[in-house]
Chain A
Amino acid sequence: MSYHFGRGWSKLTPYLLLLPGLFFYFLISLGPSIATGFFSFTDATGIKGAPIRWIGLDNYREFLFMGRASLDNLDALKRTLIFSFVVTTVQFTLGLIVALIVNQKLKFTNIFRTIYFMPVILGVVIQGLMWSLFLYPLGGPVAKFLALFGMRSEFLGGQPTEAFAWVIFVQIWANLGITMMIFIAGLQTIPSELYEAARIDGANTWQVFKNVTWPLLTPSVNTNLLLNAIGSLQAWQLFLVLVGYRNGTQVLGYLIYATGFGQTSGSVTTSFRQGYAAAASIVLFLLVLVIGLTLQTFLQRREKRILG
């Protein structure tokens, strides 16, 4: 495109002013992301000045195939997939249902929307501490509620699978509002004439949803599925706040952090093994890449079929 603000040297002004932002981006984000690959082939530690040696595929071999630790790693990998799958499907379904309900012309829907969206601003620390209290096992609200049905739970301090399930619950609770808002934005782009036409044709509520709302919601469906899947594969901060680094609950993201920066909790102590952690980062990245691309391809094909 033609540039109007001067000739000759002054044409370089946009480049000069673009430089700081681009520089920070390469330095802080893109560069380190790519360098993760390099570090994954080394024995880097977190100690300043310590020599870094090239060790080839050793980190990967150890991560995937060596002894008990690698079995734990594979468990963490499996857990990451379960976490991501459950969070994505449940959050997607509930988000859609809630969006359809609050998008009706009813009173107070704005207030409800705001309430569901609220955790987004609070961040993981407040979200986590709030639920630690709400899930207080010795007579907290949820404990009392369960007691009504003769059930009891140790919640976050209970069996690993139980604690894991509660983290999934809080994760969905915290992010449901985002999914809902994206669906609402999509719902509001559907022209009301289409609903009127469907009604004149005698369609019932389910038919209207199936033939008008659902197909026209495709862009929001795509966005939500991709965002939720990729986001939940990488999410682990709530684990840190709610349960800490506990055997039987770790997901890959937390494992990377713990092996890279050291974590002690109970019997588990890890050291600063940054090369190894970088290798784990690459494993997680490949997981995100494969799942993301598969999903993207599937969604695009579906979109072509529906919207032509």
Chain B
Amino acid sequence: MSAQTAGKFVSRRIRWDVIGSYLVMIFFALLYIGPILMLVNTSLKTMPSFMKDATSLATELHFENFREAWVKANFPQYLLNSIIYTVSATTIYILTAVFVAFPIARGYVKYSGVILTLFVIALFLPPALIPQFQLILNLGLYNNPIGYIMLFLVNPIGIVILVNYIKTIPKELDEAAAIDGCGYARFVWSIVLPLIRPAIATVIVLHAIGIWNELIAPTIYLTSKQYYPITRGLIVFQGVYGSNWPTLAAAVLLLTLPMLVLFLFLQRYIVSGLTAGSVKG
């Protein structure tokens, strides 16, 4: 690898560059792990102990905070809502996206270049906040889970990623399948879909994370507590328990840990989604 050769070149004499590299890496790592450690430590403390010394080690292991956070933050309900929103919107989105991306990539519809450009343009357009709100309001879908889910049926970057990936699949496949009597819908569904699985996974992961972490839409569109997703729930909880950091830290941690575990499994999909197209320019 490139870096190896560059490394060897310098390292013959002193390994200061290696030592320096590790120092920088460790410094940055502390900035990232520090806040999580603080969260863990605080979540195990009692309120008086936190008031006395915020950073002292939690010797009392006050696990009660987690139970309290779970119940008082109304976690089960909010989590369930978040899961429903994320799963349903992502499923509908990906189903429609494949049937948008495939004919565009293949040129099976007229003006496919123009359609693709329309999707790319969206990345630069003004925030659609106000008209979107007027739309949902006038459709009678304000403070309504269906209206909320509708907001997440669009993701232009996902279309671009899918189109680029589909283009790598040889066109001869279409011909061969068609000669064998395979219909269009079945071809896309049972032959293309399995072939573009890596791209699908990337788009699903990116889209789902976006919905799961969304904060603005629920503050605008959902007023009833029973519809809150976990992000809004956590902000409301902070408003009430803002000064009670041990309980709040436990609540944040309850949400952070599963995400971190998930992250270890999904990392490569997120990376490939975020770096898609960046190399070619």
Contact = CB atoms under 8 A, between A and B. Distances in A.
A123 B3 contact: no
Interface string B257-279: 00110111011001100110111
A215 to B, nearest CB: 13
Contact of B231 (A14, A32, A125, A136): A125
Contact of A288 (B97, B124, B153, B280): B124
Given A24-B153, A24-B154, A185-B275, A36 B267 contact: no
Interface string A176-198: 00100110011101111011100
Interface stretch (A4-12, A68-76, A82-90, A148-156): A4-12
B63 interface: no
A140 B132 contact: no
A205 B174 contact: no
Contacts of A133: 35, 38-39, 42, 245, 248-249, 252
A191 to B, nearest CB: 8
Contact of A192 (B2, B159, B259, B275): B2
A105 B1 contact: yes
Contacts of A108: 25
B5 A257 contact: no
B36 interface: yes
A140 B131 CA distance: 43
Nearest to B108: A14
A246 to B, nearest CB: 15
Given A195-B2, A237-B216, A122 B256 contact: yes
Contact of A32 (B106, B132, B255): B132
B2 to A, nearest CB: 4
Contact of A1 (B7, B17, B29, B171): B171
B55 interface: yes
Nearest to A205: B10
Contact of B119 (A25, A186, A240): A25
A210 interface: no
Interface in B25-72: 25, 28-29, 31-36, 38-39, 42, 53-55
Interface string A37-50: 11100001010100
Contacts of B25: 101-102, 108-109, 112
Contacts, number: 316
Name which of A18, A182, A187 has the most chain B CB atoms within 10 A of its CB.
Answer: A18
Interface string B176-203: 0111001111011000000000000000
B32 A5 contact: no
Please report whether the interface of chain B is mostly helix, strand, loop or mixed according to DSSP: helix
A111 to B, nearest CB: 8
Interface in B2-33: 2-7, 9-10, 17-18, 21-22, 24-25, 28-29, 31-33
B55 A139 contact: yes
A123 B126 contact: no
B175 A117 contact: no
A30 B118 contact: yes
A115 interface: yes
A128 B182 CA distance: 52
Nearest to B249: A133
Contact of B100 (A22, A122, A220): A22
A160 B185 CA distance: 57
Interface in A281-296: 281-282, 284-285, 288-289, 292
B96 interface: yes
Contacts of B166: none
Contacts of B99: 14, 17-18, 20-21
Contact of B36 (A3, A130, A218, A261): A130
A36 B209 contact: no
B238 interface: yes
Given A133-B42, A134-B38, A141-B55, A29 B122 contact: yes
Interface in A203-221: 205, 208, 218-220
Interface of A: 1, 3-6, 10, 13-15, 17-18, 20-22, 24-25, 27-39, 44, 46, 48, 97-98, 101-106, 108-109, 112, 114-126, 129-131, 133-134, 136, 138-141, 144, 173, 178, 181-182, 185-187, 189-192, 194-196, 199, 205, 208, 218-220, 222-224, 230, 234, 237, 240-241, 253, 256-257, 260-261, 274-275, 277-278, 281-282, 284-285, 288-289, 292, 303
25 contacts: A5-B183, A6-B184, A17-B185, A18-B99, A25-B118, A27-B135, A32-B132, A39-B134, A121-B266, A126-B234, A126-B256, A196-B5, A199-B6, A223-B278, A237-B216, A256-B129, A257-B129, A260-B130, A260-B133, A274-B130, A275-B130, A277-B130, A278-B131, A281-B127, A282-B126
